Amino acid sequence: MSVGAGPIIITLVCTVLVPLLLGLQLRVRLPRHADRLQFYMQSLSTVSMLLLVTLLPIQHWQELQDISRGGAFPAAALFIALAACGGWLLGGPHAAPRRMLSLSCGQPNLAAAMMIASQNFKDPRVALMLLVILLASLPIVVSLSLLYARQGSRNATRHA
């Protein structure tokens, strides 16, 4: 499979950058309306993602099984673990930014990736692999979050 950079850039500009700029303008000009709209947009986003995560495997169960048999979950877990480690290593000398970058790198932007996949690829296995990455990332990112929270509370207790 292949797709040029142009369609991906157009997809991201239209689905991420333009709405972001419109939202920032709305926040500046009509902050109360922006607050109200933010609640509805977050709810719509959450419901949409839940529907996607639920209906995609149901609709493409056989393809998901084929992907799973091919080692997709271990590959996705390795990808997430390496991304989180990379974030930690590039996070600088202080623990707080390292933790934040580690978590940010370990949790891919699934919404943007799904948008690119749905707009540029017809093969459902592309979106299914993104779902596999999401599922593989959850135990890793949750474990790191709990570990970092524990380390942060220990450090706060020591400095108090």
What's the pTM value of the predicted model, to 2 decimals? Answer: 0.71
Instruction: Report pLDDT digits (tens) over 32-55.
Output: 999 889 889 899 988 988 888 888
Greater confidence (6 vs 25) lies with: 25
Instruction: Report pLDDT digits (tens) over 86-122.
Output: 999 999 999 899 999 999 999 888 888 888 888 888 8
Go through 108-145 and write b for each residue having 16 or more CB atoms within 10 A of its CB, e for each that does not. bebeebbbbbbebeeebbbbbbbbbbbebbeebbeebe
What does the block give as tokens for 28? 């500046």
Confirm if 26 and 18 have CB atoms less than 8 A apart.
no
What is the band of 124 on the pLDDT scale with cuts at 50, 70, 90?
Answer: confident
What value does the mean pLDDT of the chain take? 88
